[in-house]
Amino acid sequence: MKIVKRTLSKRNYVVLSVMLILCLLLSTACGSGDSNASGSASGGDSGQAADSAPVSVGSLTVIVPDNVVGVPLWVIALENGYFADEGLEVNGVTMTTGTMEALEVGKADAMLNGIIPALSYAAQGSDVKIVAGMASGGNFLIAKPEAIEELQDFDNWKGKRLGLVRLSTSEMITRYALGEMGYDLDNDVDFVEIDSYPNIIEAVRKDQVDIGYIASEYGQSVRDLGLEIIFPMTNLVEDYVCCRISASGKTLSENREAYVKFVKAQIRAYKFYKENPDDVVALLADASDQSEEFVRNVVYNTETNANRIFNPDPNLNGVRNVYATLRDWNYIEDNGVEVEDIVDIGVFSDALDEILAENPGDQLYSELKELYETNNV
């Protein structure tokens, strides 16, 4: 697989990438002699039949973060032409505020975002669905060097002050995990809400909290400040859910096939991510203006990325645990909305079944099917 080098600023990345897809679609429709180009980037799966133009399933407007390194499957699917292969036009947009509102009122069709906002809005009756996963892992727990050995044993956490961002995945996973260990969360530990990761680091330095929760990107900086990593948060829950792909319930009901094709492209990108790390690092470095070393540490190096894994499996079981924790601690009201009403696992299942039919016997896709059957019962 040959990847053409591009020099794209983060500001222009989404716009130029969408233009690339439009060009690919036009060239296919006009019978270009290079009609197999996007299929050749598939990393081994067949995708859409190379000798026929894909049937159009429409378009989706997708809210994406400005930090493209954090959404490698989106970038891979875009750059390798997987969306175009599936007959789907995508329009990537970035928004700093009002993202859930945009999804709810139909100004956007899908969003790559954290799990808590989607669950919170859906629990209140908003027509928002979760259709696939994006990532798990990615957080470290930190402390002063002299406390590291003690805090590596969960039996020693009683009486400790935990510094976390309010309503974060870190808070929900910790409440769930410590509750499972038998902790009385009202009395045994103190949850200290702090507004940002830099302020959590400062709180640990100043002895305002005993344990701090930070994103993996801050791992090196805490060491420079004289602090140490206790362990990644996967020591609490091995495969905890984090960012998900959310959808407009209205658009999903009107054009379900577009979302199946969207997730199908993400699954194909997952295979490429697993099998072609050097190509992925080069691709993301070009798209983000970051060094290849930085990208590799964020995407592939488990020692620096806190065991972050990028996987499109929706993981209903993991989402169910987070949702139950939000309810148990009254962060959301029990309005009769169940997690199964929010997570539509069928979109992923249909997409994966299509890929398995096109690639019978493929080991990675077969393993993904097994994982799906474990995580979504």
The predicted structure's pLDDT at residue 41? 43
Residue spans per domain, the chain: 10-136+242-375, 139-235
- CATH superfamily, region 139-235: Periplasmic binding protein-like II (3.40.190.10)
CA angle 106, 336, 312 (to 5 degrees): 55
Write the pLDDT tens digit of every residue in 96-143.
Answer: 889 999 998 889 999 999 999 999 999 999 999 999 999 999 999 999
End-to-end Cα spacing for the chain = 37
**Token pair of 246, please?**
């959310």
Give the chain's mean pLDDT.
88
Instruction: Evaluate if residue 369 carries a pLDDT over 70.
Output: yes
What's the whole-number mean pLDDT along residues 337-342? 97
Query: Per-residue pLDDT tens for 236-290?
Result: 999 899 999 999 999 999 999 999 999 999 999 999 999 999 999 999 999 999 9
Residue 29 pLDDT class (50, 70, 90 cuts): very low
pTM for the whole structure: 0.85
Q: Give the pLDDT confidence score for residue 52 in this predicted structure.
A: 73
Indicate the burial class of 127 (C-beta count within 10 angstroms; 0-12, 13-18, 19 or more): middle
Q: Can you tell me the distance from the alpha carbon of 331 to that of 339, in angstroms, rounded to the nearest whole number?
A: 15
Residues in the chain: 377
Question: Comparing 10-136+242-375 with 139-235, is the CATH topology the same?
Answer: yes
340 pLDDT higher than 50: yes
| Cα–Cα dist 130/248, whole Å | 9
What is d(CA 367, CA 296) in angstroms, rounded to the nearest whole number? 24
Confidence of residue 329 (pLDDT cuts 50, 70, 90): very high
Phi, psi (deg, nearest 5) at residue 140: -110, 155
pLDDT at 368: 98
Residue range 135-176, pLDDT digits in tens: 999 999 999 999 999 999 999 999 999 999 998 999 999 999
Q: Regarding the domain with residue range 10-136+242-375, which homologous superfamily does it belong to in the CATH classification? A: Periplasmic binding protein-like II (3.40.190.10)
As a whole number of angstroms, the distance between CA 84 and CA 97 comes to 29
The pLDDT confidence band at residue 303, using thresholds 50, 70 and 90, is very high
pLDDT at 96: 84
Quote the CA–CA distance of 352 and 366 in Å, as a whole number.
Answer: 9
Given a cut of 50, whether residue 11 has pLDDT beyond it is: no
Distance CA 246, CA 344 (A): 10
Give the confidence band of 53 by pLDDT, cuts at 50, 70, 90.
confident
Whether 375 and 367 have beta carbons less than 8 Å apart is answered as no
**Taking 90 as the threshold, does the pLDDT of residue 35 lie above it?**
no
Is residue 305 very low, low, confident or very high in pLDDT (cuts 50, 70, 90)? very high
Give the pLDDT confidence score for residue 272 in this predicted structure: 98
**Tokens standing for residue 80:** 């390798």
Question: What share of the chain has pLDDT > 70, as a percent?
Answer: 86
Res 48: pLDDT: 55
Looking at per-residue pLDDT, the higher value among 45 and 195 belongs to: 195
In this prediction, residue 51 carries a pLDDT of 54
Residue 33 in this model has a pLDDT that exceeds 60: no
